[in-house]
Amino acid sequence: MVTYLDAATAPLRNTGQIRLYGEEGFAGMRKACDLTARCLDELVPIVA
């Protein structure tokens, strides 16, 4: 059986439970993904 827990109260170590993130968590993930995408786009001329 799968158990879920709030990411804000989840322990830092891996417990095997699925963490549920709120809107603030997703906003941070979107920011990180955007930065990563821009960095990868800058590397295209070097790699290609």
Rounded to 5 degrees, what are φ and ψ at 4?
A: -120, 150
**What pLDDT score was predicted for residue 18?**
81
- Residue showing tokens 């920011």: 31
Domain boundaries, the chain: 22-48
pLDDT in tens, the chain (48 residues): 788 888 888 777 877 788 888 999 999 999 999 999 999 999 999 998
pLDDT, position 10: 78
What pTM value is reported for the model?
Answer: 0.59
Q: Tokens 């786009």 identify what position?
A: 41
Q: Are 3 and 17 in contact (CB under 8 A)?
A: yes
* pLDDT confidence of residue 41: 97
